[in-house]
Structure 1
Amino acid sequence: MNDASGRNGTPSNVRNLSDAIRKVRVAESERTDVVVELREAERVRLDMLADELRGVFAEVPEGDEQFVFQVSAGTQPRFWVDMTSFVMMARDRRTYRFLKDTRFGRTVILETANIDDMADCVTQYVAERIIERERALEGDWLARRIAQPEPAARSERGVPPLARAVAEPAPHTSIHPGWIVSAFLGGILVGAIVLLGYAWVHVG
């Protein structure tokens, strides 16, 4: 009969819980180190993209505050272009993904492993947003301009009607030559009738 006991009569198949906990902690620590390394690798790639676009950021017109241009930390590092668009790394940790949140959902603008292609795409996006902002400002200015009264109308405000009537020239009316001839002939006819009446009364 085999002796299944170890030294001091302790069974050899008894497991030590503290040793098991230590092994689990070591494994988790190793996995955490891997995750941290991958996260740091993602951030490094995003920082490289931000460096490629540093000159573009410097050329954005002053007063245009719609852009963020910042790499955020966290479990999933992101390079924010504005409040609705950002660049993140794909699962392979090598591919850049340019995403934008819209009212129709999240859309992918570009997905590429080439940092130059992604930098060009972000530059084009920034240019389009600047043009859109300029058009919106121009539309607001035109709307306000149309809503304002004309200068002539504004100058007449507060002027009494009689003063406007005096200031305004009287309308020019043209007289037709036919009316002049008719009036002349009518005067001759009336004069002849008066003379005939006078002679009739005194002669008769």
Structure 2
Amino acid sequence: MLKQDEDLPGQGAGDGDSAADLTAAVRRARLDDEQRDRIVSGLREGEFARLDLLYARLAPVFAQVPQGIDIFDHGIVPGERPRCYVDVLAFVEMERDRQTYRFSVDTRRGRVTVARSERVEVIVAAVTDYVARRLVERERTMAESRVIVTPPGAMLDAGAMAGDPETPQSDAPIRPGRRFDGGDIVFTAIMGLIGGAALFQGALWLMEWTPVARLLGRF
């Protein structure tokens, strides 16, 4: 039999080991967090470096954009997922593998992936085509906004538009007048005959009317 003052096997050592194990676990957890943070920071720095390489390749493209056109608000935006923006709608970011570029554009129907590749040259070509299309769309929009719409019923003098000095110019629009032809003359003559016959019949009727006939008989 064991004595009452004797400790059971592992009883005293267990308390010490439990305290030592907890301290070691906390230390290991902190080391894991630091290592994880270093890995995430390294991956994020790697993403930023790849996007920075892409942006350097796109610098000559943006430099060729005509002056005065400010539709391309480009640059790299850092963050949890860094992005290389072409404008407010288009941007390039890295895939989950941190190796593949993805060029996306936000449209009315949602986000569309234009190009996806591990080669930076492919993404540069896709972004260049996008910039060219945006410039063409802007030119068409500006051309349509300069179209002059003539009000309905208004006619412009061809001589005045051609710059003919002998043609008088007037601020009021010129309206075409009605031309008379032979048919109009015949119609006018027929209507005159009908009107004269009607007046003649009316005069005869008045002369045959009794009061008028009596009045005429006095004379």
CA contact 1:69–1:79 (8 Å) conserved in 2: yes
1:1-204 paired onto structure 2 within 5 Å: 3-6=9-12, 10-14=15-19, 17-142=22-147, 145-146=148-149, 156-157=170-171
Runs in 1 of length 4+ with deviation above 6 angstroms? Answer: 148-151, 171-174
Q: Aligned partners of 2:105, 2:62: CA distance in 1, in Å?
A: 19
Q: Partner amino acid for 1:103? A: R
CA contact 1:5–1:12 (8 Å) conserved in 2: no
- Give the secondary structure class of the aligned counterpart of 1:116: helix
CA contact 1:85–1:99 (8 Å) conserved in 2: yes
Q: Which runs of 5+ in 2 are unaligned?
A: 3-7, 161-168, 182-219
- Which protein has greater RCO, CA pairs closer than 8 Å, 6+ apart? 1
How many aligned residue pairs are there?
162
**What's the TM-score once normalised by structure 2's chain length?**
0.64
User: How many percent identity over aligned positions?
Assistant: 35
Q: Partner amino acid for 2:125? A: D
**What's the TM-score once normalised by structure 1's chain length?**
0.68
Q: Which runs of 5+ in 1 are unaligned?
A: 159-163, 165-170, 175-204
Q: Partner amino acid for 1:4? A: G
Q: Aligned partners of 2:150, 2:94: CA distance in 1, in Å?
A: 49
Cα distance change of structure 1 residues 150 and 173 upon mapping to structure 2, 3 Å threshold? closer
Q: Aligned partners of 1:127, 1:39: CA distance in 2, in Å?
A: 31
Q: Partner amino acid for 1:52? A: R
Cα distance per residue 1:66-99 (max 9 Å; x no partner): 1122011001010000101100011111111000
CA root-mean-square deviation: 3.2
CA contact 1:4–1:12 (8 Å) conserved in 2: no
